[in-house]
Amino acid sequence: MADEALLQPATVVAVRDLTPTVRSLEILPADGILPFTPGSHIAVQVCINGRPDRRHYSLLGRPEDGCYRIAVRRMPHSRGGSIFMWDLREGDALAVSAPRNAFPLKGGGSAYLLIAGGIGITPIHAMAMALADAEAPFRLLYGVRSRSDAPFGDALATRLGNRLELVVEEEGGLIDMAAAFAPLPDNGEAYVCGPMGMLEAALAGWRAAGRPAERLRFETFGNSGHRAAQPFIVRVPDLGREIRVEANQTMLDALDAAGVEVLSDCRRGECGLCNVDVVACEGELDHRDVFLSEGQKAEGRQLCACVSRVAGGSVTIRTGYRPL
C-alpha cells in the first residue's frame, strides 16, 4: 500500500537554480494552497520509467507566500525522482498533495538548536524563519560540502547573523554534536535533518548527554547509506520469487514492480511499515532507516525495504503478506 494522500492538479509557477545541484520550484495548486506549518511536506507525483510514483518535499517559506516552495537536489544516482523534478519548467502541470507535517516544530523549549546537513536544510529553513520571526533563542548549525553548494547560505546569514554557523566539510569542518548540545538548557529542543551519518551522530550525542529522547526530533531524506548503492538480489521463498534490485531502485519499488506486495507509507525509513523479516543475507545489510534501533540493525533480522539495501550479494526475506 503506497502513500494514498489525495493529489490535486497544480502548476509550476517559478523555477530557480540555487546552486549547481539544487533547484527551487514554486508550485500553485489549482484550488490554491492550504495552510502549513514549519516542517511540513507535500507529496508530488513523479513519473519514473513510465510508472507514476511519489516523492515528498519539505516546504520552504510561509503560507503567506501564496504558493508551495520546495528545493530539489539533483541526485547523481537518482532513481528518477530528482531527474523528473529537474525537467519541470515554468507552466508545467503536475499533481501534489495537501501539506502534511510529520516533523513539527513543537515549541515549549526555552532554547532551540537546529542542525541541517545538505538538502536537509529545507525543513530546518522554515523552522529557522519561524523562530526568528518569534524572536525565540536558537542556533542553526548548517553542514555543507562547500560554500558554493550551500542553498540559502547567504540569505540565512543575512537573516540570522551569528545565530547561523556554516560548517564546511571542504574546509575541514565537522559538526561536533557533544559541543553543539552542551550549551542547550535542560528543556532545550534540537531538530535535525540530514544524511544518515549525521542523524546517527546526533542520536548518539544526545543519548550520551543524558537528554530526554522526546526533545530531539529528526527527519531524514532516506537515500544516504553507509555504502554506495549497488544492484542486489532479493529472494522471497514464500512466494517463489527472485528479483533483481537495480542500483537506482529501492527494494520496495523492485518488489512492487514484480507484484510482491509490501505495506508502506512514508517511504523515507521513518514509519517502519515496510519492515520485512530477513531470513538470510549474503552481503552486507546497509540500514538506511531511522525506525529500527541500533540493536535491531546489528541483529540483522529486519530491513526497511523503502530505503535500506544490501551492499552487493543477496537477501532472502519474508514479507508477511500471504496471497488469498
Q: Which residues bind ligand FES (CB under 6 A)?
A: 264-267, 269-274, 289, 291, 304, 306
Nearer to ligand FES, 164 or 290 (CB): 290
Nearer to ligand FES, 216 or 255 (CB): 255
Spatial contact of 307 and 285, defined as CB atoms under 8 Å apart:
no
Spatial contact of 209 and 180, defined as CB atoms under 8 Å apart:
no
Nearer to ligand FES, 147 or 226 (CB): 226
Size of the chain in residues: 324
Element housing 190 (H / E): strand 189-194
Cβ-proximal residues to 148 (8 Å cutoff; 6+ apart), any chain = 19, 20
Spatial contact of 152 and 164, defined as CB atoms under 8 Å apart:
no
CB of 308 to ligand FES, least distance (A): 9
User: Please, what is the Cα angle at 73 between 69 and 78, to 5 degrees?
Assistant: 130
Residue indicated by cell numbers 526555552: 110
Nearer to ligand FES, 19 or 264 (CB): 264
Nearer to ligand FES, 43 or 266 (CB): 266
CB of 5 to ligand FES, least distance (A): 13
List the strands of the sheet with 232-236, edge to edge.
Answer: 241-245, 232-236, 309-318, 275-286, 302-304
CB of 248 to ligand FES, least distance (A): 18
CB of 250 to ligand FES, least distance (A): 9
Nearer to ligand FES, 82 or 308 (CB): 308
CB of 236 to ligand FES, least distance (A): 17
State the DSSP string of 117-174.
EGGGHHHHHHHHHHHHHTT--EEEEEEES-GGG-TTHHHHHHHHGGGEEEEEGGGT--
Nearer to ligand FES, 23 or 287 (CB): 287
CB of 59 to ligand FES, least distance (A): 20
Distance, CA of 287 to chain centre? 14
Q: CA–CA separation, 163 vs 174, rounded Å? A: 17
CB of 142 to ligand FES, least distance (A): 26
